[in-house]
Chain A
Amino acid sequence: MRILVIEDEKKTASFIRKALQAEGFAVDVCGNGEDALAAVAATPFDALLLDIMLPGRDGLGVLSQLRERGNKIPVLLLSARGEVNERVAGLNAGADDYLPKPFVIAELVARVRALVRRGGETKSTVLRLANLALDTVTHEAQRGENKIELTVREYRLLEFLLRNPNRICGRMSIIEKVWDYDFDPGTNLVDVYMRRLREKIDDGFEAKLLHTVRGIGYVLKEAA
Chain B
Amino acid sequence: MTVRTRLTLWYAGIMFVSLLAMGGLSYYKFVQEPRNHVLRTANVSSDLIVEDENEDFSQTLKILFWCGLPPAFLALGGGWWLIRKSFAPVAALTQAVERINESNLNAQLSRSGNGDELDRLTEVFNAMTARLDSSFQRIREFTLHASHELKTPLTILHGEIETELHAEKLPPAQREKFASQLDEIQRLTKIVDGLTLLTKADAGQIELKFAALALDEIVNDVFADAQILAKPASLSVTLAACEKISISGDRHRLRQLLLNLADNAVKYNQPGGTVGFCLHRAGADAELKITNTGKSIPPETLPRVFERFYRGDAAHNSATDGCGLGLSIAEWIVRAHHGDIRIASTENLTTVTIRLPLASGKII
Contact = CB atoms under 8 A, between A and B. Distances in A.
Instruction: Answer yes or no: are A and B bound together in one complex.
Output: yes
A215 B165 contact: yes
Consensus secondary structure, chain B interface: helix
B182 A215 contact: yes
B151 A214 contact: no
Interface in A40-91: 80-85
Contacts of A216: 162, 165, 182
A186 interface: yes
B104 interface: no
Contacts of B190: 184, 186
A185 B154 CA distance: 19
A15 B155 CA distance: 10
A105 B163 contact: yes
Contacts of B180: 215
Contacts of B193: 82, 184
Given A9-B156, A11-B159, 4 more contacts: A15-B160, A181-B255, A192-B231, A215-B179
B322 interface: yes
Nearest to A187: B263
Contact of B225 (A19, A84, A182, A189): A189
13 contacts: A9-B155, A12-B152, A12-B155, A102-B151, A104-B162, A106-B162, A184-B190, A185-B260, A186-B194, A189-B228, A193-B228, A214-B165, A216-B162
Most buried by B among A16, A103, A182, A193: A103
A80 B148 contact: yes
Interface string B138-164: 000000000010011011111110110
Chain A CB within 10 Å, residue with most, of B175, B190, B263: B263
Given A16-B159, A106-B162, A188-B229, A85 B207 contact: yes
Contacts of A22: 166
B252 interface: yes
B361 interface: no
Nearest to B159: A15
B328 interface: no
A19 B163 contact: yes
Interface in B167-215: 175, 178-180, 182-183, 185-186, 189-190, 193-194, 196-197, 200, 206-207
A15 B166 CA distance: 12
Interface of A: 9, 11-12, 15-16, 18-19, 22, 80-85, 101-106, 151, 153, 181-189, 192-193, 195-196, 214-216
Contacts of A104: 158, 162
A211 to B, nearest CB: 14
B259 A182 contact: no
Contacts of A185: 255-256, 259-260, 263
Contacts of A101: 151-152, 154-155
A187 B194 CA distance: 13
A104 B200 CA distance: 24
B229 A189 contact: yes
A102 B191 CA distance: 12
Contact of B163 (A18, A189, A193): A18
B308 to A, nearest CB: 15
B163 A186 contact: no
Interface in B75-102: none
A102 B155 contact: yes
Contact of B326 (A18, A103, A186): A186
Contact of A186 (B185, B232, B323): B323
Nearest to B251: A180
B152 A105 contact: no
Contacts of B200: 83
B229 A187 contact: yes
Contact of B252 (A11, A15, A151, A182): A182
A80 B152 contact: yes
Nearest to A9: B152
Given A192-B228, A215-B186, A181 B256 contact: yes
B152 A192 contact: no
A74 B281 CA distance: 48
B35 to A, nearest CB: 96
Contacts of A83: 196-197, 200, 206
Nearest to B262: A187
A9 to B, nearest CB: 6
Contacts of A82: 151, 193, 196
Interface pairs A-B: 4 shortest CB-CB: A215-B182, A102-B155, A214-B179, A15-B159
Contacts of A192: 228-229, 231-232
A184 B224 CA distance: 18
Nearest to A213: B165
Nearest to B144: A81
Contacts of B228: 189, 192-193, 196
